Chains A and B, each alone.
Chain A
């Protein structure tokens, strides 16, 4: 790694910005050393040279006043900032900036739990608070509130939410559970959204909308401001919790599973993220590929069959849970059995049936809000594994599920990779998550993985599917698929960008939104 400058910023201007930043946050919190500091801001799972997303410096403020001052200094010297919270958005780029030379605005040191409100069941946190931190905090204070962690529990509550992340309890739609936001704008102004704009408000974290346009969404997956505090509703611990797993023998069962899940979700019989995981997701969190197959390319059916037998898993594996008083759970479980277990070959399992099963245990924890890191085992499928997630959204229908599965699996297998995927049903949508696992030490494999990812975007868009979130490398490409009416939506976002951040210093390139000086001509 060689030292680099922000784009279009002179050596002298950069030096002056760094001096300002050091005055604001202290010398210890401006990181410039390539080997021992800045290298940790790279994307560890990059499929292309890490230098493409290399930071020129990182600055770690301790409070919102320091954020305001840093933003003002960046504006003065024209230095682009890339805000991160806990920096654990791996598979999507981790802590690395979209453009080489940006200064990472690292908010990890802002790690206070501002409030836990037991009565109204919410918390207010700063960007540096991870799910693990919050879980331990709630345990320490004896709280009866649950969090809803992302599968890798070291992720940040705020960062995951503003990137539209999801979890596995009934509070799994994280943005839906957000209420109240503090944002620093590009000119250094600090603002509170919705009810928080009312002095003395007692409902900042109870009513989402306030009066007038609801702006909170504008600060998610965007570069219109720096979110420095957020209110998150937490689920009160229910009087009962019963997780279950249902296995299915045939590939085509996905169609019927999905058809039957839809009414169960729409009617809230299954209140949490209803997840249908393909067998290799289950296998990869507890086995290595070479235990079953040492050849090249995707796992053959003979090895897949042996794995299913060894692990008592199906081709598809459905996970869900019921919550509440025992009579409610029993009633809902009966409806679920009647529907999902009546598919021929289906087998239902409960906690007592799968003790010691690594795959079951971590999902059991996630569905009751206990953070863990077990899902990172997916990368242990191969030695030196890294991953990127491809995540298109679809309607909850059997036809769409099969079409997406075939669309992705066929291309993935042709490219020599394994299909490791799952489908999560929220309310009326389905997130299809495909974890593309590749060898970090194999340059050719990384090149093929990168090319495959691009091919999947095009193929999905041709069928009318768009992704909900993506890696740095593909933000422009995916933003480009949302191009109805001559890309009217992107143009609207660019008008907002120019108005809110006229100097174009915040998060250039985030989700395809560029400041005007870096933008290609729009017709």
Chain B
């Protein structure tokens, strides 16, 4: 049931235009590095990337995903998706989530360049 809701939401949101909702003063790229990179950077050692490669083989890393909608990102972060558990508001605040979702919804060159590997 939840999957159906997610799919429906993704479809409805995909019809909306992608608008960057980055909150002022917060660095979406830094937030991506802090919260998302350990699962979503490029490479099959990142479990989120390995999972998403099934559906988006050429855009498996979130750094390479085109057409992500900020509202969809916010939904997934708070509700989880498959093996990805939700993130609590104590972990990622509303303001941080705004900036993060705005960054992930963008297709700026900066996003393409971002990759922090934990050495």
Q: Which residues on A are within 8 Å of B, measured CB to CB?
A: 29, 31, 36-37, 39-42, 44-45, 58, 60, 86-87, 90, 94-95, 106, 108-109, 132, 135, 139, 153-154, 286, 358, 361-362, 365, 370-374, 376-377, 379-380, 383-386, 440-441
How far apart sit A108 and B87, CA to CA, in the bound complex (Å)? 11
How far apart sit A384 and B81, CA to CA, in the bound complex (Å)? 9
Contacts of A37 in B (CB 8 A): 78, 88-89
Interface residues on B, range: 20 to 34
B48-66: which residues lie under 8 A (CB-CB) from chain A? Answer: 50-51, 54
Closest chain A residue, CB of each to CB of B86: A40
Partner of A385 from the list B79, B83, B86, B87 (CB cut-off 8 Å) is B83
Contacts of B38 in A (CB 8 A): 132, 153-154, 371-373
Interface of B is mostly: loop
Nearest Cβ in chain A — how far from B71, in angstroms? 12
Q: Which residues on B are within 8 Å of A, measured CB to CB?
A: 3, 38-39, 44-47, 50-51, 54, 78-80, 82-91, 118-119
Given the known inter-chain contacts A108-B90, A135-B118, please indicate yes or no for A39 contacting B83, CB distance below 8 A: no
Contacts of A377 in B (CB 8 A): 44-45, 47, 50
Q: Is the CB of A44 within 8 A of B85?
A: yes
Contacts of B90 in A (CB 8 A): 29, 31, 58, 60, 87, 106, 108-109
Contacts of B78 in A (CB 8 A): 36-37, 39-40
Nearest Cβ in chain B — how far from A159, in angstroms? 13
How far apart sit A106 and B119, CA to CA, in the bound complex (Å)? 30
**Please, could you name 21 A-B residue pairs with CB atoms under 8 Å apart, sorted by A?**
A31-B89, A36-B89, A37-B89, A39-B79, A40-B80, A40-B87, A42-B86, A44-B80, A44-B83, A90-B85, A109-B90, A358-B45, A373-B38, A373-B39, A379-B83, A380-B47, A380-B83, A384-B82, A384-B83, A440-B82, A440-B83
Contacts of A106 in B (CB 8 A): 88, 90
Nearest Cβ in chain A — how far from B89, in angstroms? 5
Partner of B45 from the list A41, A362, A441 (CB cut-off 8 Å) is A362
Contacts of B46 in A (CB 8 A): 373-374
How far apart sit A42 and B78, CA to CA, in the bound complex (Å)? 11
Partner of B50 from the list A42, A86, A95, A380 (CB cut-off 8 Å) is A380
Q: Is the CB of B44 within 8 A of A376?
A: no
Nearest Cβ in chain B — how far from A371, in angstroms? 6
How far apart sit A440 and B81, CA to CA, in the bound complex (Å)? 11
